[in-house]
Chains A and B, each alone.
Chain A
Amino acid sequence: MTFETWDGDDESAAGRFVPLYVLVNGRTAPRDSTLDLATQVVALPVDTRGLEPEYVEIVRRCANWISVAEIGAYLHLPLAITKVMVDVLIEQGYLGAGTPAQRNIVDLHLLDSVLAGLERL
């Protein structure tokens, strides 16, 4: 799913800002990273001993399913950096990823259960 970029009356200085292009472990954050900030991840039963401490800390946070946004908030990491680090951990098999929000936008059955969940609140 793609989005047109904003073409409205955005002449302000802030309109020129984009997320800082980060470099983590020799990788740069893809502008179109498929990892959504609501996507949840979970630690896989893998030995984390060769990992750098910052990565171990993320894996520890993922003992239970947790979203990319929550990891960033708890570890005080900017979102773009959190995404790249989580991406690295998924790629290397330390974390498993759940179903991202994007795929379900047309899923009436899922929306039905969300509705029921909200009504129960």
Chain B
Amino acid sequence: MDRTSVKIVVAGGFGTGKTTLVASVSEIPPLTTEEILTEASIGVDDTTGVEGKTTTTVALDFGRITISPDVVLYLFGTPGQDRFWFMWDELAQGAVGAIVLVDTRRLESSFAAVDYFERRGIPFVTAVNRFFGECAYTDDEIRSALELDSRVPLVWCDARDRDSSKLALITLVRHAMARLRVRAGSVPVAP
């Protein structure tokens, strides 16, 4: 008897449609879990007097897709405030990869997310959310604005549409698999 968990992170700037994407493909309405954060200056070994210190709450939304009787895929949306890097680390650890949502009206708001996954070598795809139909930019313009590596897939999506969100997920899993195959194939042959 075993049960395996698989994670995918849904990231992007504030209000780019992360929760909407999770909701459109999840088999349950998105759930919210909270983390209470406290100022790091307290020091990790000091558990006394925490009440008096500054705390803040960060919420994350997630959904689930049952893949098979023993595999469940969890989709975690990053917190709206992308300043809480600690939470990103927790979400990204062990994840297949990430979908970085991009709002063409505010391309720069997803720059931090692109940078985050790129630096860590975590596979990701960019999903440009067509908020209001037509978009003023071409793929190339978006790629250069986000300084995207040419190998990073870019898809257009409507986060409210299940098939569209599904396609973004499939593109990510294929991309992650292709990267794994390249790695496996590039193992240097012993002289």
Chain A residues packing against B (C-beta within 8 Å): 1, 3-6, 8, 10, 12, 14-23, 28, 31, 36-40, 42, 65, 67, 69-70, 72-74, 78-80, 82, 96, 98-106, 108, 110-115, 117-119, 121
> A1 contacts which chain B residues (CB < 8 A)?
93-94
Q: Are A112 and B177 in contact (CB under 8 A)?
A: yes
- Which of B10-18, B38-46, B100-108 faces chain A? B38-46
Complex CA distance for A121 and B1, rounded to whole angstroms = 25
Q: Does B83 contact A (CB under 8 A)?
A: yes
User: A14-B81, A20-B36, A23-B47 known; A99 and B4 CB under 8 Å?
Assistant: yes
Q: Does B33 contact A (CB under 8 A)?
A: yes
Give which listed residue, A4, A38, A79, contacts B5 with CB less than 8 A. Answer: A38
Q: Does B155 contact A (CB under 8 A)?
A: no
Nearest residue (CB) in B for A121 is: B166
Q: Are A101 and B71 in contact (CB under 8 A)?
A: no
Min CB gap B165→A, angstroms? 10
A-contact 0/1 string along B6-30, CB 8 Å cutoff = 1100000000000000000100000
Q: Does B148 contact A (CB under 8 A)?
A: no
Task: Give the number of A-B contacts (CB < 8 Å).
Answer: 187
Min CB gap A2→B, angstroms? 9
Complex CA distance for A115 and B6, rounded to whole angstroms = 12
Q: What are 23 pairs between A and B in contact, CB < 8 Å?
A: A3-B93, A8-B85, A8-B112, A20-B55, A36-B7, A38-B5, A38-B74, A38-B94, A67-B72, A73-B31, A80-B35, A98-B3, A99-B4, A101-B93, A103-B94, A113-B67, A114-B67, A114-B71, A114-B73, A114-B173, A115-B177, A117-B66, A121-B162
User: A10-B85, A14-B56, A14-B84 known; A114 and B74 CB under 8 Å?
Assistant: no
Complex CA distance for A96 and B67, rounded to whole angstroms = 21
Interface of A is mostly: mixed
Q: Are B72 and A17 in contact (CB under 8 A)?
A: no
Complex CA distance for A112 and B116, rounded to whole angstroms = 26
Min CB gap B162→A, angstroms? 8
Complex CA distance for A98 and B69, rounded to whole angstroms = 13
Q: Please give me the 9 A-B residue pairs with the lowest Cβ-Cβ distance, nearest first.
A: A102-B94, A98-B3, A117-B67, A17-B37, A73-B31, A101-B94, A6-B85, A14-B83, A38-B5
